[in-house]
Amino acid sequence: MTVAARTSGTLGSEARPTGWAPGPVTDLFVHEGPLLLRHLGAPADLASHRARSGPLPTPDLPALVTLLSDAAVRGRGGAGFPLVRKLTTAARGRRRAVVVVNAAEGEPDSGKDSALLRTTPHLVLDGAAVLARALGAREVHVVTGIDRADTTRSARAALAERDDRRLRWSHRAAAARFVSGQARAVVELLEGRDGLPVTAWEPAAVRGLHGRPTLLSNAETFAHVAVLVREGPGAYASLGTADEPGTTLLTVSGRLPTAGTPTDDRVRVDSDPGPQARVIEVAHGTPFSHLLHPAELAGPVLLGGFHGTWVEGHVLADLPVSAAGLRRRGLTLGAGVVLPLGARACPVRATAAVTAYLAGESAGRCGPCVNGLPALADAIRCLADGEDTRPRLHELCGVLPGRGACAHPDGTTRVVRTLLAHLGRHVHAHLSGRCSCASACGGAG
Ligand code: SF4
């Protein structure tokens, strides 16, 4: 990693090449933030981290439960589950708990966990140590994506420096697949099997790694814990809103396909997103108009990444960053991936490309993925080619969710469903040959 300036840093290219299927986001710009990313550019080694951050408080379980409840800390991997519920559930187990830091980032356009592990890895590991000590856990496992070589290298270097008493740290690399970051897939990987999702009858906090209570959360979640215990709830809540104190990380990336479909050699993917691809730390409640450039809000935005929701940029502009508030509007922040399409690109063709990619990324085990997602990808490709398949798409979006072992079918149909529900005028324009892609790639037909 090279750090370009005091207030921002560039993460150079990771190993996987770009294209459809897309590799992890490249040339990511990381901006300095108020809490998690405030020491950007400072040395990341343990001695330097301790010198600037001070000693790490280690609250006992009741004190930590109070802190996490007051600060309403939620997991930042997409589901937004309250961390305190995972903690108290894992603490009730009869067997010794384990802690898992999930930085697999199977979503190619997510870069926030890589940004943390490459610029301030010990903040993430401090949070894991705090939770492990409160639980009496002796093991902490860290998982990164195998295609994110620089992130993996940084995580392993940081783990080698840890000197926490009574804690054993380990690292595993997850395969470069979209579903590799799913919680059960991570548990599978750590148990020595293929890192693919499986049906689970109990949450990992009840029965996870080798049947033990497992506190598994996203890397960003652990960084928030470390900041919270050091700063205290007052300072943490000085940012954000009463319901959602503190900050969150977003990855803004402009790599949606702008024309064509994956089966179409006219596909164009912006493989050099330049300064548009960035990780930013924002206080909850900040309007999106303060975060995104006017050009990024001039067209549709896929909010929440490839399992996210389409929304018109001018609608998003007035909305605040709030997982709960966006959910009430039928939108999702997911793991904080924001994908502006731009005013001149076609969301129908972009959805066709994303759906085909996701259909190919399933574990191929459950009916909705084996049969349903290819059918969905086929129907949306036909729509992109000018055939009005909206009735078929509505039908598939109605039957596929809730039937897989994991939420991959739910997330994939969500993109298609919100294309039809939120971007109906674009779909109509596309079918009637008035879409921007008509000039870009010869029209819908
Ligand atoms: S729903 Fe799909 S991705 Fe999830 S476990 Fe089943 S086959 Fe795999």
Reported as a single tens digit per residue, the pLDDT across 273-322 is 444 578 999 999 999 999 999 989 999 999 999 999 999 999 999 999 99
pLDDT at residue number 435: 80
Proportion of the chain above pLDDT 90, given as a percent: 72
Torsion from C-alpha of 212, 217, 223, 225, nearest 10 degrees: -60
Return the residue whose CA atom lies nearest to atom 8 of ligand 1. Answer: 363
Least confidently predicted of 5-19, 142-156, 251-265, 390-404? 5-19
**Of 179, 307, 412, best ligand 1 pocket probe by most atoms within 8 Å of the beta carbon:** 179
Q: What is the pLDDT of residues 322-375, one digit of tens each?
A: 999 999 999 999 999 999 998 888 999 999 999 999 999 887 888 889 999 999
pLDDT of residue 280: 93
For residue 416, the surrounding DSSP H or E stretch is helix 408-422
The alpha carbon of residue 204 and the mean position of all alpha carbons in its chain are separated, in whole angstroms, by: 19
**305 CB under 6 A from ligand 1?**
no
> Cα 422 from chain centroid?
22
Q: Which fold has domain 42-236?
A: Rossmann fold (3.40.50)
pLDDT tens for 278-287 read 899 999 999 9
According to the model, what pLDDT value does residue 186 have?
Answer: 96
Distance (Å) from CA 412 to ligand 1 centroid: 11
pLDDT of residue 72: 95
Assess whether the C-beta atom of 406 lies below 6 angstroms from ligand 1. Answer: yes
Per-domain residue ranges of the chain? 42-236, 346-445
Least Cα distance to 187 among 199, 146, 362, 176 occurs for 199
Residue 297's pLDDT is: 94
- Angle, vertex CA 210, rays to CA 207 and CA 213, nearest 5: 35
CB 303 within 8 A of CB 297: no
What is the per-residue pLDDT for 289? 96
pLDDT band at 253 (very low <50, low <70, confident <90, very high): confident
Token pair recorded at residue 39: 């020491």
* Global pTM value: 0.90
How far, in Å, CA of 427 to CA of 348, rounded? 6
Calculate mean pLDDT across residues 163-179.
Answer: 93
| Total residue length of the chain | 445
Is CATH 1.20.1440.230 the classification given to domain 346-445?
yes
Q: How far is the CA of 101 from the centre of ligand 1 (A)?
A: 22
Helix axes 390-399, 373-384, angle to 10 degrees: 160
pLDDT at 269 over 60: no
Maximum Cα interatomic distance, the chain, rounded to a whole number of Å: 67
Chain position carrying tokens 């055939």: 387
Residue 441's pLDDT band (cuts 50, 70, 90): very low
Residue 13 clears pLDDT 60, i.e. is over it: no
Whole-number Å distance, alpha carbon 55 to ligand 1 midpoint, is 43
Give CB contacts under 8 A, 24+ apart, made by 263-268.
Answer: 263/356, 263/381, 266/441, 267/20, 267/353
- Report the residue among 366, 370, 410, 414 best suited for mutation to probe ligand 1: largest number of ligand atoms under 8 A from its CB: 366
Nearest-5° angle of CA 329, CA 330, CA 332? 100
Q: How far is the CA of 204 from the centre of ligand 1 (A)?
A: 17
State in Å: Cα 333 to ligand 1 middle: 22
